[in-house]
Structure 1
Amino acid sequence: MQENYQDRIIALLKEKGETNASLAIGIHKGKATVGRYLSKSSNRTYPSIEEISEIAAYLGVQPHWLAFGIGDKYTDDATINKMSTSGAVTVNVYSRADVAKFIETGEAPIVTQMPVHKEFGDCFGVVYPAQGSISHTWDCAALILQDKNWVNDDIVLARIGNNPTPDFFTLVKVSDTIHVWYGEDTTKNPIHSITEDEIEVLGIVCWGTWAKRR
C-alpha cells in the first residue's frame, strides 16, 4: 500500500465535507483509530486492505485507487485488470485551466490519473465538462491526442480568439470557414464561424467518455 494513501483519504474528507469523526462512524471504528490511520507520527497504525475497502466504500471511491493510486477514483477493478492484461498505462489528467501550462512547460497540477491502452501512453487527459445532474458526481475526462490533424465532426481541445483557456469544441470545415459547436452538441446552431487563423487546436479527443475516434 502506498504511503500517500493518507493524503488521498484526507483530500477526500475535505472534498466531501467529512471529518475524522464522521468517517469513524461510517466505518464503525473509533475516532482515535481513524486518527492513527491518518497520522504520520510514530503512533500511526496501518489499516488492513479490508479496512481500506470499507473506507473506500464509505467515501464512494475504488479501493485500489485509495490504497495504491492505481487508475482513477471511479474506475472499477474489473476494468483495471482487463487493461492491465492488455498492456495498460496510466496518464495524468489536468483541468482545462491548467492544461495550457502543461503543454507549454510540461508541468501543471494533476487532477487525477486514468488507465488507458499503452498505445495512448504519450497522451494526457483533460477534465470534460459533464452536463446535467451527473456533473457534480463524476470526474469525466477526455484523452487528448496531439500532433494529428482533425477532421470534420471531431471533438477538439482548442483556444479560440484571445481566450487563454482552452475548451472542447466540435469542428466542421466548409470551404474556408470552420463552424464551431461547444462540446459535442451539434443539434443547435454553431456558436462561431471562424477561419483557421482564429483557432488554435491543441489536440483531438481520441479516447474517453465522449470518444470520437479510438
Structure 2
Amino acid sequence: MTVARYFSFKPGLSLKGRKFKGLRGFAGKPFHPPLTDVTVGAYVIGPVFDVIAFLGKDSSWSGDLFKAGGWVILAGAISSLATILTGFMDWLRSTPKGTQARRMVNAHAWTMVLTSVFVLVNLWYRFLAEGGEYYESPDLVALLLSVIVAGLVTLGGTLGGGIVYDWGFNVEVAKDHPVWHPSETNDYVHPHDEPAPRVEP
C-alpha cells in the first residue's frame, strides 16, 4: 500500500488541461476566491487588534498593537486591488443579466465597495488626519471605523460564499463543466428551499 493512497494532492495543484481565462484564472482554479482570503483576513484581524488595543489602552503594548492593526488593514487594502479586479472580471464575464446569481454578485460587490470606502476613511484617519496624530495610540473613532469594516466584510464574505456554496457559481468539475446553470424559472428560489423533484412510481 503506497503513501499516495492516503496523501494525493497533485490533482489539486495541477494546471494541466485547465483552460486559462485571463484575469479570471484557470478553469476550476479561479483567482478571485483565494485573493479574498487575504483581504477578508486582514479586514478582520486588523479590527480585532484595534479592539484588544482599545480595551487594554492603559497597557504598554496597546500602542504597538493598535499600530499593527493599522498596518494589517493597509495590507488588506493593497491586496484588495487584485481582489477587486479579478472579482470584477468574474462579474463581467460569468453572470448573465436577469439571473439570481447576477443579483447576488451585485449585492456582494456593492457591500465590498462600501467596505473599501470605510477602509480608505480608516486609513486616512489613522495615518494622515491631523498630521498622523491618531497613529500612535488607540482611538475611539478609528476603533468604530474598524468595527464597521469588520462587519461589512463579514456580510460581503457571507454573500460571496453563498454564491459559491449555495449556487455553485464558478465551481467547475471534470471537463470544464460548470455546476451552476442560468435559469429563468427557478433561479429566484434558494436551492435549499426548492422542493425535491417528484419521482413517478
- TM-score under structure 1 normalisation? 0.21
Higher helix share: 2
Higher strand share: 1
- TM-score under structure 2 normalisation? 0.22
Greater relative CO (CA pairs within 8 A, separation 6+): 2
